[in-house]
Amino acid sequence: MLGFDLYRPRTLQEALKLLAEFKGSARVLAGGTDLLISLRAREREDVKNIIDITSLRVLDFIQEDDSRLRLGPLTAHAQIADSPHIRQGAGLLAAAAAAIGSPQIRNRGTIGGNVVNAAVCADTVPPLVALGASVKLERMEECRWLPLEEFITGPNRTRLEADEMLTEIAFAKLTATAGWGFTRLARREAMAIARMNVAVVLERDSRGRVVTARIAPGAVLASPARIPQAENILLGQCPDEALIHQAGQAVATAMTASGSRWSTPYKEPAIIALTERAIKQALEVEWR
């Protein structure tokens, strides 16, 4: 049976105060696309208080300055997918947000929720990692920033303290010369959780050599990370088919090195293909 008290704070300060007060028996409700389901399934009987922040519009923003993009945690996936700022400065994030669930879920689900829920298959996480995003965590009269890779420590596990709230996600915009790729595999066309995804950002010099490579797969490692072994294969090179394949293999190797699961025999060959395709997208090479 659903038994909890619902609070609707009018200011961020009020919300942080409630969090401090409840010491871990509270959960923040943003889009509710994960929380409400786990409550209904009686998986979160430790949650006695729900702090509904949906009316805190100060947490719903997309801001762009000369070099950076800043997102409020309440920004819905649909807003991210449609935002010209994000499509321009972080196209892979827009592509990832557009691939989530269904229109209803994209309208309700938020990027803050996606990050804090920290599912291994979260679609926005690999792009944010590839973009080098950091998250702002606030508590009463205190705030700190953490790189996203440090923030998420494992499947559904983060460094968020009981009295903290995620209040901003920020990263450097991609330069005009950067290329990006985002690939995703699911069991059906839409409304399907990603089995794996890969985000890639590449920058090349005027001679076509890769000078920056960031490759971040999702649902491959227990917690999100870039794969330097794969990136190093491309760095300083003009990637060809063989090199791209090597990079894909490096991601697969990193996955198998992290442990073997029931799905590994399938995921190993498939992640190679997904990585290759994401790299080719970033290089703007026809991959079909």
Partner 1 sequence: MHTVNRPVRRVDALGKVLGESRYGADLRFEGMLYGKVLRTPFPYARILNIDTARALALPGVEAVLTAADIPGLHTFGTVIPNQQVLAKEVVRYHGDGVALVAAATPALAQQALDLIRVQYQELAGIFDPAQAMAEGAPLLHADSPGNIAAHHVLEKGEVEEGFARSDIILEREYETQLVEHAYIEPEVAVAVPQAGHRGVTVYGSIQNPFSCRKALSRILGLKLNEIRVIQSFMGGSFGGKDEIMSALCARAALLALKTGKPVQMVNTREESIREGYKRHPYKLRYKVGATREGKLMAMEIKIIADAGAYASQTPFVTWRSVVQATGPYVVPHVRTNIYGVYTNNCYTGAFRGFGSPQIIFAQESLLDELAEELGMEPLELRRLNGFRQGSVTATGQKLDNHQVSLMEVLDKAVEKSDYLAKRRQYAAQSGRFRKGIGLACSFRGCSLGAEGVDATGAMVSVQYDGSVYVYSGLAENGQGLQTIFSQIAAEELGISLERVRFMETDTALIPDGGPTVASRSTLMGGNAVRLAAAKVRETLLGAALEKLRAAAEELAWGGDRIWVKADPSRSISFEEAVNAACAKGELLTQLGWYKAPRVSWDDRHGQGDAYFTYVYGCQVAEVEVDMETGYTRVLKITAAHDVGRAINPETVRGQIYGGVAQGLGYALLEEMQQHEGEIKSLNFDEYLIPGICDMPEIEAIIVENPDGYGPYGAKTIGEPTLEVTAPAIASAVAQATGRRLRQLPLDLERVLLGRSLQKERYKRREGGC
In the complex, least distance from residue 174 CB atom to partner 1, rounded to whole angstroms: 27
* Least distance to partner 1, CB of residue 160, Å: 21
Q: Establish if 145 lies at the interface with partner 1 (CB under 8 A).
A: no
Nearest distance from C-beta of residue 192 to partner 1, angstroms: 7
- Looking at the Cβ atoms of 178 and 274, the one nearer to partner 1 is 274
Of the two residues 41 and 176, which places its CB atom closer to partner 1 in the complex?
Answer: 41
Compare residues 34 and 168 and give the one whose CB is closer to partner 1: 34
Do residues 27 and 44 make contact, with C-beta atoms less than 8 angstroms apart?
Answer: yes
Instruction: Catalogue the E-assigned strands of 55-185.
Output: 62-64, 68-71, 134-139, 142-147, 152-154, 157-158, 165-172, 179-185
Burial class (CB in 10 A: 0-12, 13-18, 19+), 28: buried
Backbone angles phi, psi at 148, to 5 degrees: -55, -40
Q: What is the DSSP letter of 157?
A: E
Q: Report whether 213 contacts 229 (CB < 8 A).
A: no
Instruction: Burial-class residue 56 by CB neighbours within 10 Å (0-12, 13-18, 19+).
Output: buried
- The mark string for 249-278 relative to partner 1 (x by CB under 8 A, - otherwise) is ------------xxx-xx--xx-xxx----
Residue numbers 157-196 binding partner 1 by CB under 8 A: 185, 187-196
Tell the smallest beta-carbon distance from residue 182 to partner 1 (Å): 15
What DSSP assignment string belongs to 193-223? --SEEEEEEEEE-TTS-EEEEEEEEESSSSS
Cβ closer to partner 1: 184 or 204?
184
Of the candidate residues 84, 154, 155, 208, the single one contacting partner 1 (CB under 8 A): 155
CB of 191 to partner 1, least distance (A): 5
Can you give the binding site for partner 1, defined by CB under 8 A?
1-2, 41, 120-121, 155, 185, 187-196, 219, 261-263, 265-266, 269-270, 272-274, 288
